[in-house]
Amino acid sequence: MLELSTYQQALPVLPQRHTRINFILVGAGGTGGYLAEDLCRIILQLQQIGKEVNFTIIDGDTVEAKNITRQNYQQAEVGLFKAETLAIRCSAKYGVKITAICDWFEEEIVRATSSWNSLTVIIGCVDNAARSKIHSVLKLNSPKEAASLFWLDCGNSSNSGQVLVGTHSNFDILRACNNPDSPKFWLHLPSPAVVHPELLIPQAEELSNNNLSCAEIQARNYQSLFINRMTSAIASQYLLELTLIGGLKKFVSYFDLKAMSTRSLYTSIDNLKKYHDSSKKGIGNRE
């Protein structure tokens, strides 16, 4: 059930004014494979209102036979690079130009695609090691201006998952709103790694010196058959509200398929105060 009082107190998030949007999908596996298609649908709508959109998919992995049941790939694509085959297939289906980078994410990619009057949204569907690189890129945002760079992070386990969006690793609530005395909207949100610091801690299977057996790794990574589709649907709604229809009033959403439940944290002052740098004075507590 929607917490109406908290939602009504929430302020919308407004990115920097822009005429161009750069979507960078990092990770074309379980969630990323489905999210690429949902994102193409959003891009078509954005193009209809005159926005210029660039779409890049980044992933250095190839399709494996074991991916077919839970990821958006076909048997004929086994052995091909995920980023490339997904870009070709989505481009043919939706008529959207997509750039494929069959490698791993690096900060230079963001610098190369960003430009004046543009909004860049990095969509992370990756493990914690790659999340650290995305988190570090948020330093490119100016704390004094509306964010031009957003990180939308997607993650799931067996039957549950979460979607988070943020812009800054050192969240200052006074600079994050348009007017500390009477705030009407947010210019910044705390980084997903500020809300959940454990996102930056590598999991056991990510470490080169782990001693887990193949069976143990498989057990750790077990996923419900439709968990990736659910994560993609929620992430797509975030992207829709952030870039097309406006009015984004949440920064974290949790869901559980087994319990069939969802819960979000809304962008109210009280909710965001929790992530304000404790060394600084906050809204309603200024000298």
279 domain residue, yes or no? no
Domain annotation covers residue 232: yes
Residue 1 lies in a domain: no
pLDDT string in tens for the chain (287-residue length): 445 568 889 999 999 999 999 999 999 999 999 999 999 999 999 999 999 999 999 999 999 999 999 999 999 999 999 999 999 999 999 999 999 999 999 999 998 877 788 999 999 999 878 899 999 999 999 888 899 999 999 999 889 999 999 999 999 999 999 999 999 999 999 999 999 999 998 765 555 555 544 444 444 556 788 999 999 999 999 999 999 999 999 999 999 999 999 999 999 999 999 998 644 555 655 44
- Write down the pLDDT at residue 157: 86
pTM: 0.90
Q: How far apart are alpha carbons 151 and 122 in whole angstroms?
A: 5
Q: Please tell me the distance from the alpha carbon of residue 216 to that of residue 214, in angstroms, as a whole number.
A: 5
Write the burial class of residue 43 (CB in 10 Å: 0-12 exposed, 13-18 middle, 19+ buried): buried
Structural domain including 217 reads 8-203+213-273
CATH code: domain of residue 173: 3.40.50.720
Residues in a beta bridge with 101: 58
Provide the pairing of β-strand 20-26 with 52-58. parallel
Residue 226 lies inside a defined structural domain of this protein: yes
Closest CA to 93 of 85, 81, 82, 101: 85
pLDDT at 283: 60
Does a structural domain hold residue 285?
no
Is residue 107 within 8 A of residue 120, CB to CB? The reply is no
Query: Would you say residue 283 lies in a domain?
Result: no
**Domain contains 281:** no
Domains: count for the chain: 1
Any domain includes 282: no
- What is the signed CA dihedral for 151, 48, 55, 62, rounded to 10 degrees? 110
Q: Which token pair is 112?
A: 């190369």
Indicate left, alpha or beta for 152 from its phi (over 0: left) and psi (-120 to 50: alpha).
beta
Its sign, for the CA torsion 31, 13, 167, 108, is positive
pLDDT of residue 287: 40
In the chain, what is the straight-line distance between the N-terminal and C-terminal CA atoms, in Å? Answer: 38
How many angstroms separate the Cα of 239 from the Cα of each of 118, 204, 227, 236?
Answer: 15, 31, 19, 5
User: How far apart, in whole angstroms, are the C-alpha atoms of residue 192 and residue 153?
Assistant: 7
